[in-house]
Amino acid sequence: MPRRLTFLRSPAALIGGWLLLVAAFGVYSAESHRRALELEVSESGRALQRAISQRVAQHDAHLTSLSALGLAQAQPSEDFDLVAGSILRFYPRIVAIDLVRLSAGGEASVVSSARSAGGSTADPAAVSKAVEGLAAGKAIYGPDVRPGHYRLMKRMNDTMAVSLDIDGAKLVEGESCRAGRR
């Protein structure tokens, strides 16, 4: 038995054992770091998903309130423009709001439009075509001509629709910045 233990006293065996322990610690450390990063990414993803879901629900609420305001008036008035301007001010991800008069002949027109920097007026023909098959009160998503933007459109009745131009980068920008600091 003493002969078997003597090789453990040799410098090569001690260095080999030490290297084995260092390697085992390195593997353990890397794996625990990977798990911690995976958990952080998962939590950030859930928080971002929650924020986007809430913001999409807000967009639907904006469409509904603007539709109700537009339907309550025979002709669009300053009230619609005031509410649209307030929405643009408080929700910077919404960069344009358009009230579109639909037409059976394809000659749709923008009745009222509010824009902030980076917003564009909706193409009335594209809005008319997008909401053509929708029942009154139903909304639809549509891509915008500009990358990173999209449109939410809601048919108010047979003759009117409302459209929101949304900047996709601003949709996630606020929450992702805060999530990174946690």
Tell me the residue ranges of DSSP E strands in the chain: 94-101, 109-115, 139-143, 149-155, 160-167
Residue 113 DSSP symbol:
E
For the segment 115-128, the average pLDDT, to the nearest whole number, is 79
CATH number for the domain that contains residue 147: 3.30.450.20
Instruction: Please check whether residue 120 lies inside any domain of the structure.
Output: yes
Question: Could you tell me the pLDDT band of residue 178, with boundaries at 50, 70 and 90?
Answer: very low
Range of the domain at 167: 42-176
Residue 122 lies in a domain: yes
Number of domains, the chain: 1
* Cα torsion angle, 34, 36, 40, 46, sign: positive
- 46 compared with 78, residue with greater pLDDT: 46
Residue 104 makes CB contacts below 8 A (sequence gap 6+) with: none
Rounded to two decimals, what is the model's pTM? 0.68
In a domain, 181, yes or no: no
Assigned domain for 82 exists: yes
List pLDDT tens digits, range 72-109.
Answer: 766 666 778 888 888 989 888 888 888 888 876 668 87
17 assigned to some structural domain: no
> If you average pLDDT over each of 17-26, 74-83, 118-127, 162-171, which comes out highest?
17-26
